[in-house]
Chains A and B, each alone.
Chain A
Amino acid sequence: NAGVTQTPKFQVLKTGQSMTLQCAQDMNHEYMSWYRQDPGMGLRLIHYSVGAGITDQGEVPNGYNVSRSTTEDFPLRLLSAAPSQTSVYFCASSYNFQAAQETQYFGPGTRLLVL
């Protein structure tokens, strides 16, 4: 198993540009989520999905879109990047987060710089 993979590892954008951060997992996990990590603020949940076709907002959803057309993939879209979105983005998954015992597995992260 590759686990949770994220691409790209690093990206520089100009204000107003759009891009998609990719996240994939090969563990047949139902639950997937996106976090952003900023200094002194820990990880904050952006969006999450409890299964294909089902997504919901986390703590900081503004400026981000998600969709979940397959179990494996959960892309995060920035429609019009802003400097405030400069951050490190982590994708995570677990088999079924309705069972609290399930551990979340984290990807290696994508470092995004918006100029």
Chain B
Amino acid sequence: AQSVTQPDIHITVSEGASLELRCNYSYGATPYLFWYVQSPGQGLQLLLKYFSGDTLVQGIKGFEAEFKRSQSSFNLRKPSVHWSDAAEYFCAVFSDSSYKLIFGSGTRLLVRP
């Protein structure tokens, strides 16, 4: 069965520091992968997505993610974090056999001034 693991429940970084959020997936075929962000009290906003091609994907708000098939990972990165990036981040994989988007449990990002 498809699954997504986000091993870090919370991450705290200082403003201006770099960020990497981890995501590992379990999926038999070529995965369709997504990163969403949820600000407090808000719905989910798509940051970026990967389907095929270049394994380094650029998203909105300066985020990028790299797909590594050998490691079954799709980690999210940002070179310099802003205070407004404090939010919860969800990795997800799409199952094209069942039309379902399966989410990880999320990583809450805290930004120190």
Give chain A's interface residues, CB within 8 Å of chain B.
4, 31, 33, 35, 40-45, 48, 50, 56, 58-59, 90, 92, 97-98, 100-101, 103-104, 106-109
Q: Which of B6, B43, B51, B99 contacts A50 (CB 8 A)?
A: B99
Distance of A90 Cα from B36 Cα, bound (Å): 14
Q: Is B103 an interface residue (CB 8 A)?
A: yes
Residue of A nearest to B32 (CB): A100
Residue of A nearest to B90 (CB): A42
Q: A103-B46, A108-B43 given as contacts; is B100 within 8 A of A58 (CB)?
A: yes
Distance of A107 Cα from B43 Cα, bound (Å): 6
Question: Interface on chain B toward A: helix, strand, loop, or mixed SS?
Answer: strand
Decide: A48 and B100 in contact? CB cutoff 8 A. yes
Chain B residues closer than 8 Å to A31, beta-carbon distance = 99
Q: A40-B105, A42-B104, A101-B51 given as contacts; is B43 within 8 A of A109 (CB)?
A: yes
A-B contact pairs, 20 of them (CB 8 A): A4-B43, A33-B101, A40-B106, A42-B106, A43-B44, A43-B103, A44-B103, A48-B99, A50-B99, A58-B100, A59-B100, A97-B99, A98-B96, A100-B96, A104-B101, A106-B43, A106-B45, A108-B42, A109-B42, A109-B43
Distance of A107 Cα from B44 Cα, bound (Å): 8
Distance of A94 Cα from B87 Cα, bound (Å): 24
CB distance from B10 to the nearest CB of A (A): 11
